Amino acid sequence: MVNMGFPVNHIVDYFGNGELCLGVVVKDQTERIQVQGATKQVSKVTLKQVLCDYGRCPTNNPVPSLIAIQNDITAIQEGIDTEFFWETLLETDASSRSVAVQAMEYFGGEPTDQQKSALARALMADALHFHFDGTGFAPNSREELERLQELKRQRAEKAALRERTKEWLAQVIAANADACKTKPLEVPEELESFVQQCTDYLMRGFNCPAVNLLATSGSKLSPRELALSVLRKTARLPKDADEFLLANGIHAGFTAEVNDFANALTPYAADSSREVYEAEIFSIDDQWTREIDDALSLRFLEDGNFEVGIHLANPSSFVHKGDLLDQAAVDRPLSLYLPTTTVTMFPERLGCDLASLSQDLLRPAFSVLATLDGEGELVDWRIAPTQLKVTHRLTYIRADEILQAGAGDSLTRALTKLQELALKRRVIREECGAVQLNKPELKIHVQDDQITVERDDQNTPSHDLVSEFMVLANHLAAKYALRNDLPIIYRCQEAPYDDVQSVRHYDPIEFDQQVRKMKRTRLSTYPEAHCGLGLDIYTQISSPLRRYADMVIQRQLCAHLAGEPLPYTQTELFGVLDNVDRTASGNRALEREARNFWTLEYLRRNCMGMALDATVVRLEGRLVLAELDDYFVRGIVLTRDNPPLGERMSVRIQEINPKLNRLVLELI
Q: Which carries the bigger pLDDT value, residue 406 or residue 295?
A: 295
Strand order in the sheet with 10-16: 42-46, 32-36, 19-28, 10-16, 50-56
- The pLDDT > 70 percentage for the chain reads 98
pLDDT band of residue 4 (cuts 50, 70, 90) is: low
* Inter-helix orientation angle 410-431/461-483, to 10°: 60
Encode pLDDT of 448-473 as tens digits: 889 999 888 788 899 999 999 999 99
Q: Cα(654)–Cα(663) distance, rounded to whole angstroms?
A: 8
**What is the structure's pLDDT at 74?**
94
In three-state form (DSSP H/G/I as H, E/B as E, the rest C), the secondary structure along 607-639 is CCCCCEEEEEEEEECCEEEEEECCCCCEEEEEC
Confidence tier at 94 by pLDDT (50, 70, 90): low
- pLDDT of 266 over the 50 cut: yes
Q: What is the mean pLDDT of the chain?
A: 91
pLDDT number for residue 458: 80
Q: Which residue has the higher pLDDT, 306 or 16?
A: 306
The pLDDT score that the predictor gives to residue 2 is 40
pLDDT of residue 1: 32
The strand pairing partners of 45, in sequence order, are 33
**CA distances for 127 relative to 122, 133, 476, 603, angstroms:** 10, 12, 73, 66
Please answer whether residues 655 and 464 qualify as being in contact, where contact means their C-beta atoms are separated by less than 8 angstroms.
Answer: no
Torsion of Cα atoms, 599 then 604 then 607 then 612, to 10°: 60
- Give the angle 31-32-33 at the CA atoms, nearest 5°: 140
C-beta atoms surrounding 287 within 10 Å: 10
Q: Is the pLDDT of residue 41 over 90?
A: no
Q: Which amino acid appears at position 561 of this protein?
A: L
Query: Strand, coil or helix: what is 319?
Result: coil
pLDDT at residue 405, as a whole number: 86
Give the residue from 428, 514, 564, 533 showing the smallest Cα distance to 542: 533
In this prediction, residues 406-426 reach a mean pLDDT of: 92
- CATH numeric code, 607-667: 2.40.50.140
User: For residue 243, what pLDDT is reported?
Assistant: 80
Whole-number Å distance between alpha carbons of 627 and 443:
17
Q: pLDDT band for position 91 (50/70/90)? A: confident
Query: Considering the entire predicted model, what is its pTM?
Result: 0.74
Q: Where are the chain's structural domains?
A: 10-142, 144-241, 258-593, 607-667
Residue 304 pLDDT: 94
Instruction: Find, among 108, 94, 107, the residue nearest to 136 by Cα.
Output: 94
Instruction: Name which residue leads in pLDDT, 563 or 133.
Output: 563
